[in-house]
Chains A and B, each alone.
Chain A
Amino acid sequence: MTTRTTPRVRGGVGTSVQRPDGEPKVKGNFAYASDLSSEDMLWGATLRSPHAHARLVKIDIAPALAMPGVHAVLTQDDVVGAPMFGQEDQDQPVLCDGTARYWGEPVAVVAAEDEETARLAAGAIVVEWEPLTPVDDPEIAVEGGSTFRDMRIRRGDEAAVGPVVVEGFYETATQDQAPLGPEAGFAIPDGEGGLDLYITSQWIHVDHRQIIACLDMDPDQVRCHPAGIGGAFGSREDISLHIHIAMLSLATGRPVKMVYDRSESFVGHVKRHPSRMWYRHEADQDGNLVKVTVRLIFDGGAYAHTSRAVIANAAFFAVGPYRCQNVMVDAAVARTNNPPAGAMRGFGAVQTCFGAESQMDLLADALGLDPLELRRRNALGPGDAMATSGQIIEGSLPTIAVIDALESIPLPDPIASDDPLLAPGGTGLTTPVSTVVRGVGYAVGLKNVAFSEGFDDFAEARVVMTTAGVEVHTAAIEVGQGLVTVCQQIARTILGTDRVAVVWSDTSQIGSAGSTSASRQTQMTGGAVHDAAKGLRDQILSVHGGDELRDDGVYARDELIATISEICADGPVEHHVRFRHPETFPPDENGQGDVHAGFVVAAHRAVVDVDPELGLVRVVQVDTAQDVGKALNPQAIVGQLEGGIMQGMGLAVMEELIIDGGVIRNPTFTDYLIPTFLDAPDIETRIIEEGDHWGPFGAKGIAESPTISSTPAIVAAIRAATGRELTRVPVRPSDIVGI
């Protein structure tokens, strides 16, 4: 997509425009969903299953209903429409349907005058349970055939052999998205039997579809509005309290607000799939990959959510950004009684990148090759076939360029800092600098952009020229990633004016923009805004006969020939677009085909200081080179790269939901550890611009890449420092000490 740009506009493509939501968020003025309220509102609360697997024998809501201030107590019997919801498969009951399949599954919901009454009323419901044995081991579930999806990839010759063989078994624990804003929603009856829902979501149209089905209402009776979001990372891709607040509001005729507390949030959203991965790499003496054999078991928990897409991604990215003719992958995502898993930044590619990159290091070691040299030799690039699906890479894929750029970043001072706070152990002053061992590690990661496997993936946008400026209408969700500036910058550049406002639309005002996930909105909604703005410009130029659009109107050979008022003489002028990416196709029975719309690659180098005796790690520096296509907003990219590295570091050394018999044992920010500012490494970034074959100005979505290869790079650095195998993340101090 090439478009002539007008350089004189301020705040256009390629500049580091500041986000309008940045300052209010820092100052505490930003309105999050949990800040919404009205005079006459009720509070909602949820009663949850205290068992990972149990039969609901009897439920008595009378004691809750009898409490003063309680207006409604609803169970699955009160669901008038479809009893089940789900984004891909509708397999989860709105409220417990007689069997609880995971710990914390919603059983009943309550609306009351205040939060405490609602909470007490939920607790007053009397439930008789018959506990059943939970299936909490995904391997046992897979053996018993209990899976959401089995994926099989057979490419090339299964009998091929390479003289150099490395094998490994790898595990990743359950990571939580841990968004600072918990789930929150506000439902307002419209007085005509319908509802306005203010929800935290990554895709309001797909929520809308599920909500109206369960409420048995017409599409135009329910409007889903995006409410202020404090982070998402995949956790808001699936429904949580949305249907519940709608039901409570309809039942009471009152606005209903519900906000999960932190611990409820941990059980109330899907999380990253824990994984077990068996790998075998075979290579020739020069390090060329000959065959890769992989077996994957992911734990999907109790309900499907996006598990089927996650396991496909895991399988397709199981080899990484490398060429290989012979690839065999068997992957399964298990149905268990563990907390449901679903989308999280990196979406399956995070787990297999840890396995694949650990293998590449083992292979480099076996061959006596430099780890980056081995990766260069096998690097996947434009025109090559994906090792797994066989799809030919059509757009840009600068794998070697990101490796080279990463290597060119200077290493930090080889000596551990003499500031004791920057030693492993931090303020605990555990570690004399003299005992610290330094390690350096690398990893490269590949990810697809947008939805795959033949999914009808589109984004709508409408660009409107008014006398007051340009409006961009979209139902895409800004989760804090900076979509607002991307939309503005694209429209500015094409329309020649800096007066551009983004209008976040509800589900009744515009069609779907698709999900804010899969690194897709910059390319998809950005692409829609690009095409809509271009369509609008072409339309105006053809009506008025000029050759350029500027802030004050249409120009012909540098002369103003129609002012904005003249352009809008009959009212605002608009152009609406439904944007689609290049078509993708479902894989065949061997997992082959053009399943992906586009690819993005990144590389990370980690430097760590380790206290080998205590097993403590200080991540000193993590550098990255990132393929971005075209940098629409360099500062926003750096923000994504740094934040993604922090999340990747979390998985590498501390983030883990401890789940025991289906119960999350550390459901607080005291016990679920995420890196603090003191733990944050220095980060150097290099942005590689090689325009892609689709997307605005050649830009690529980059939001997930930084989380993917940062984790294995950090683990590789700890291995380099300690000589330990470290086949599981997060790496625990005891793994480093060897107990």
Chain B
Amino acid sequence: MLRLPPLRYEAPSTLEEAVALLAEDGALLAAGGSDLVPNLKRRQYPTARTIVSLRRVADLVGIRVESDGTIRIAALTTLATVVEDSRLPKVLREAAGAVASPQIRNQGTVGGNLCVDTRCDWLNVPDTWRQAAEPCLKAGGEMCWVAPAKKDCWAVSSSDLAPVMVALGAEVQLIGPDGRRSIPIEQLYRNDGMAYLTKTTEEILTEVVIGPHAGLRATYRKLRRRGSIDFPILGVAAAVRLDDADICTEARIVLGAVASAPLRVPTSEEVLVGRTYNAETIAEAAEAARKLARPLNNTDLTSRYRTRMIPVFVRRALEELG
């Protein structure tokens, strides 16, 4: 059995204590632990010393829907809770329901999902494998095995909720040593497999906020081989607003699992905005998405296949919203 390395476990009861503990060397934050624990067992975090669990912090669980339609989801709310909450938009419930399996959705949290570590076939193997080859960049080495010519890490953003939250224009609340701040979720992510979040390691995501969104049509589709469990190898979240004449007034198209961050596709969005929403513009927008993303061979199936599926996926998502 893969075992955890020896670790200290802390479960503070306030966010301030948690932030202080996270400032220590080798401290890692745990919510549901469904991503953190397998990664620790595969020894992907060799400097880990302390696990700081948010379990005992009060008020980090629950969903509030305000009178103007604003949705506030506390970070430790489980994915299962999101799936079951009929007040939430269908797109959110479906995206949460596409994550992993029922057992993991009972354990995994919204905050953990939004901060889930980037993945790569070369990285997410036990340490015997990583040590047998030279360690890659993210494992503390000098080179990337997926794109040896490059000096960057290409580990893949694999969250199902992240593209949806970006498409819905959500904001996240963070608390850190310097207090609280709120940023658009798009700004939380960085297209860098190693430093994939812009926040500091001491900062804790406390809440995700989706502002009023009446009239916004949104959907999420997720590609992978099996019917469930697996991480996405391609995701598409799309949100559009149409006026009475079927003119598209707003469009956000976001790809998941093709880069180290959820990827907005402005080329496709620009095709749509200001034009009649019909088969022709949809096809054009779908085609425009092909040029942007460059998935590599570091997930299940080939990059060639995934690249080819991007326009198909975008088209299907947009068709559903018509």
Binding site for B on A (CB under 8 A): 34, 48, 50-51, 103, 115-116, 119, 182, 259, 261-264, 421, 425-430, 432, 613-616, 618, 653-654, 663, 665-668, 670-671, 673, 675-676, 678-679, 732-734, 737, 739
* B228 interface hit (Cβ, 8 Å): yes
Cβ contact within 8 Å between B2 and A261: yes
CB interface residues, B 248-292, toward A, < 8 Å: none
The reply to whether B308 and A739 form a contact with Cβ atoms under 8 Å apart is yes
Nearest-neighbor residue (CB-CB) of A661 within chain B: B133
B53 at the interface (CB under 8 A from A): no
Judge whether B2 and A428 touch: CB under 8 Å.
no
Q: Are A426 and B226 in contact (CB under 8 A)?
A: yes
Question: Other than the known A425-B223, A427-B227, what 20 A-B pairs have Cβ atoms closer than 8 Å?
Answer: A48-B128, A50-B131, A50-B132, A103-B132, A115-B3, A259-B1, A261-B1, A429-B94, A429-B221, A430-B222, A663-B133, A665-B125, A667-B126, A668-B126, A671-B121, A673-B300, A678-B228, A732-B305, A737-B305, A737-B308
B308 touches A432 (CB 8 A): no
Taking Cβ atoms with an 8 Å cutoff, the residues of B that contact A are 1-3, 5-6, 38, 94, 97-98, 101, 121, 124-126, 128-129, 131-133, 220-232, 300-302, 304-305, 308-309, 312-313, 316, 320
A429 touching B98 in the complex, CB below 8 Å, given contacts A261-B126, A668-B125: yes
Question: B132 contacts which of A261, A615, A663, A678 (Cβ < 8 Å)?
Answer: A663
B interface secondary structure, majority? loop
Q: Are A116's CB and B226's CB within 8 A?
A: no
Q: Is the CB of B230 within 8 A of A673?
A: yes
Contact call B227/A263, Cβ cutoff below 8 A? no
Q: How far is the CA of A673 from the CA of B231 in the complex (A)?
A: 12
Does the CB pair A678–B227 fall under 8 Å? yes
A739 to B304, CA, bound (A): 8
A671 → chain B, closest Cβ, in Å? 7
B residues near A679, Cβ cutoff 8 Å: 226-228
Contact A116 B304 (CB under 8 A): no
A733 lies within 8 A of B301 (CB): yes
The answer, among A48, A430, A615, for a CB contact under 8 Å with B316, is A430
Closest 9 CB pairs of A and B: A426-B227, A50-B132, A428-B222, A678-B227, A734-B305, A261-B2, A263-B126, A427-B98, A678-B228
A-B pairs with beta carbons under 8 A, tally: 118
Q: Which residues of A contact B126 (CB under 8 A)?
A: 261, 263-264, 667-668
Known A-B contacts A673-B230, A739-B304; A429 and B222 likewise in contact (beta carbons under 8 Å): yes
Contact of B97 among A427, A614, A733, A739 (CB under 8 A): A427
- CB pair A116–B125 under 8 Å, yes or no, is no
For residue B88, give the distance in angstroms from its CB to the closest CB of chain A. 16
Residue of B nearest to A679 (CB): B227
Min CB–CB distance A119 → chain B (angstroms)? 8
- Are B1 and A34 in contact, with the CB atoms below 8 A? yes
Q: A673-B230, A678-B226, A679-B227 are in contact. Are A613 and B312 (CB under 8 A)?
A: yes
- How many Å lie between the Cα of A363 and that of B132 in the bound state? 48
Residue of B nearest to A431 (CB): B316
Contacts of A668 in B (CB 8 A): 124-126
A614-B309 Cα distance, complex, nearest whole Å: 7
Residues of A within 8 A of B6 (CB): 116
Q: Most B CB atoms within 10 A — which of A263, A618, A675? A: A263
Q: Which residues of A contact B231 (CB under 8 A)?
A: 670
Partner of A263, one of B129, B222, B224: B129
- Find the B residue at minimum CB distance from A424: B227
- Are B128 and A263 in touch, CB under 8 angstroms? yes
CB distance from A649 to the nearest CB of B (A): 11
Q: Which residues of B contact A259 (CB under 8 A)?
A: 1
With a cutoff of 8 Å between Cβ atoms, the chain A residues found around residue B98 in the complex are 427-429
Nearest chain A residue, comparing its CB with the CB of B302: A734
Distance between A681 CB and nearest chain B CB, rounded to angstroms: 11
CA distance A259 to B2 in the complex (A): 10
* Given A428-B221, A429-B94, A613-B312: A262 in contact with B2 (beta carbons within 8 A): yes
Closest to B305 in A: A734
Q: Which residues of A contact B301 (CB under 8 A)?
A: 732-734
| CB-based nearest B residue for A261 | B2
Looking at the assembled complex, report how far the CB atom of B96 sits from the nearest CB atom of chain A, in whole angstroms.
Answer: 10
Q: How far, in angstroms, from A616 to B223 measured CA to CA in the complex?
A: 9
